[in-house]
Each structure stands twice: as structure tokens, then as C-alpha cells.
């Protein structure tokens, strides 16, 4: 059953991406209009969607750093121990 659902979503990938972008836009709009910012600890927390952008940037940095670290030595050729 789960495989059929995954195949269903994979066949409609553009719709899934558009729905995810729409949900994210609604969340940022909700944050901008309805979440009280009077108890924010720093000035940047007053920017709508700051934590969303911060989390996305941190995720991108972690992925790029992991790929760089992997290519620097963790990933070796398959016949490394044959020599």
C-alpha cells in the first residue's frame, strides 16, 4: 500500500512540489500576520520567516559541508585494500 502511494506521488511530482511551496508560503504568511513578535529575543526575530530561512540556509550548509568532507577522504576507490 505504501509503495502504491509513493508511486502515486512520484507520478505527480510537480503537483507535490507546488503544494509544498504553497504550504510554506501560507506558514510564512501566518507567521507575518498572526504570531506576536513582542517577546522576540533579537532584532532579526522580528523579520517574518526568519527562522524558516535560517533553517534552510543551515541545511544547505550542512549538505555542502558533508559532500566536501566526503570527497576529501571518506569516499575512496573500491580497490583501496587490494594494493
Q: What DSSP designation does 75 have?
A: S
Residue 83: pLDDT band with limits 50, 70, 90: low
Going from N- to C-terminal start, the domains of the chain cover 2-77
Residue 80: pLDDT band with limits 50, 70, 90: low
Helix (H, G, I), strand (E, B) or coil at 78: coil
Q: What is the mean pLDDT of residues 50-64?
A: 91
Q: What is the mean pLDDT of residues 69-79?
A: 78
pTM over 0.75: no
- Closest to 48 in 3D by CA, of 60, 58, 34: 34
Rounded to whole angstroms, the Cα distance separating 56 from 60 reads 6
- DSSP E strands in 27-79: the ranges are none
Q: What is the mean pLDDT of residues 50-79?
A: 86
Residue 67: all three cell numbers together: 559532500
Amino acid at each position: 500500500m505504501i509503495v502504491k502511494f509513493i508511486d502515486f506521488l512520484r507520478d505527480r511530482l510537480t503537483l507535490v512540489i507546488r503544494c509544498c511551496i504553497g504550504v510554506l508560503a501560507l506558514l510564512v504568511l501566518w507567521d507575518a500576520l498572526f504570531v506576536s513578535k513582542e517577546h522576540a529575543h533579537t532584532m532579526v526575530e522580528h523579520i517574518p520567516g526568519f527562522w524558516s530561512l535560517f533553517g534552510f540556509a543551515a541545511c544547505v550548509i550542512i549538505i555542502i559541508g558533508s559532500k566536501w568532507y566526503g570527497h576529501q577522504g571518506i569516499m575512496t576507490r573500491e580497490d583501496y585494500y587490494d594494493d
